[in-house]
């Protein structure tokens, strides 16, 4: 998780933050799989990444894991993914 004060203002109330900036494929998704286990069913996880492959990787991961990708965004080389834990085995 991140202690970056700029990231703490981003997520909706109650969402956890996972900062995987600087990690390349497959680490952002692997770290997300681990982190989402601590999120309650229906809860939110905001993942922040810099890997250019992350948008496709997270679309595939969310679909396969049954965790809806609620939002995704890009600002320069920064990507954000808001994932809702769907209760399926991640």
Sheet containing 16-20: which strands, arranged edge to edge? Answer: 16-20, 44-49, 78-84, 69-75
Give the three-state DSSP class for 18.
Answer: strand
Sign for the pseudo-dihedral over CA of 70, 39, 50, 10? positive
For helices 27-36 and 54-65, the axis angle rounded to 10 degrees is: 40
Choose, from 25, 33, 53, 86, the residue flagged as catalytic: 25
Q: Is 25 a catalytic residue?
A: yes
Q: Which two tokens stand for residue 52?
A: 């250019």
Catalytic residue ranges: 25
């Amino acid at each position: 998780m991140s202690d970056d004060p700029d990231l703490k203002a981003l997520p909706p109330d109650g969402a956890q933050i996972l900062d995987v900036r600087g990690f390349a494929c497959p680490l952002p998704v692997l770290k997300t799989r681990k982190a989402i286990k601590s999120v309650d069913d229906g809860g939110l996880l905001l993942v922040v990444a810099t890997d250019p492959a992350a948008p496709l990787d997270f679309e595939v991961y969310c679909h396969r894991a049954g965790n809806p990708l609620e939002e995704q965004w890009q600002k320069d080389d920064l990507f954000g993914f808001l994932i809702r834990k769907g209760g399926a085995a991640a």
